[in-house]
Amino acid sequence: MNPIAFTIFGLSIRWYGILIATGIVLALIVASYTCKLKEVNYDSFTDMAIILLPFAFIGARLYYVIFNFSYYSANPSNILNFRQGGLAIHGGVIAGIITAAVYTRIKKKSFFKYADAAAPSLILAQAIGRWGNFFNGEAHGGPVSEGFISHFPEFIQKGMYIDGVYYHPTFLYESMWNLLVFAILLLVTKKKPKDGTIIFLYLGLYSTGRFFIEGLRTDSLMLGPLRIAQVVSLCGIALCLGYLFVTYGIRRKPIE
């Protein structure tokens, strides 16, 4: 696939950037709806988003660079060159959550209300952004047979045919999973559950899919023998289960 969508005034505009921008715009549109459900002021939410986005991008890049330190220490000039990829969603989410926590504390807002309103938008943006990996020819899995890949649309087959080998379209698996999680989060948000439920469901559901999909990938960030994304995903699943147990699983005994 050609990663460049078009060129204007000599500047190449890449699909990766277009899809990330599209994801952000659609995320803000969805947030206008979820903010109403969570009774969050949308103007305050967008103010937070404007502040949060740069820190999320920095966090996503910093996370990627840290776990590829051997390469970037030898090529420091490439640290800021992220147009071809190199943004780790876990780093972006961590930085975004920290920024949102600071913002809501300063503004004396409910962190969990804002986080719940943001969660469906976040997973939708992730689903769209994964297609940027497709155009970059990255974030794919290991080799597969021609018979296996033939079950996918022709443009997926062509995109996953790299240097004479067909590969698992793991970007597609994750994108489809994220869309399913998006639908689930919206449905649960409509039920108006307790504050915090949606963001913890996001952590648990996204992490579950990511854990299994990451096992198929060939470009995982590693810490020794461990796939970092799988370790972080297990932490996300544990946080979700812990929250659900404490919030919904424990019932006080009636006073006799």
Q: What share of the chain has pLDDT > 70, as a percent?
A: 96
Q: What is the pLDDT of residue 173?
A: 97
Average pLDDT over residues 68-75: 84
pTM: 0.91
Q: What is the pLDDT of residue 254?
A: 54
Q: Could you read off the pLDDT of 169-183 as tens digits, one per residue?
A: 999 999 999 999 999
Average pLDDT over residues 230-249: 95
Q: Could you read off the pLDDT of 72-131 as tens digits, one per residue?
A: 888 888 888 776 668 899 999 999 999 999 999 999 999 999 999 999 999 999 999 999
Strands 143-144, 4-8: pairing is unpaired
Residue given tokens 């579950």 in the structure block: 208
Asked whether 97 and 115 are in contact (CB, 8 A), the reply is yes
Kindly report the number of other CB atoms within 10 A of residue 64's CB atom.
21
Average pLDDT over residues 201-218: 96
H helix or E strand, kind and range, residue 143: strand 143-144
pLDDT of 3 > 70? The answer is: yes
Average pLDDT over residues 208-221: 93
Q: Could you read off the pLDDT of 128-160 as tens digits, one per residue?
A: 999 999 998 888 999 999 999 999 999 999 999
pLDDT of 256 > 50? The answer is: no
pLDDT of 236 > 90? The answer is: yes
Report which DSSP code applies to 191: T
Cβ contacts of residue 49 below 8 Å, gap of 6+? Answer: 28, 31, 118
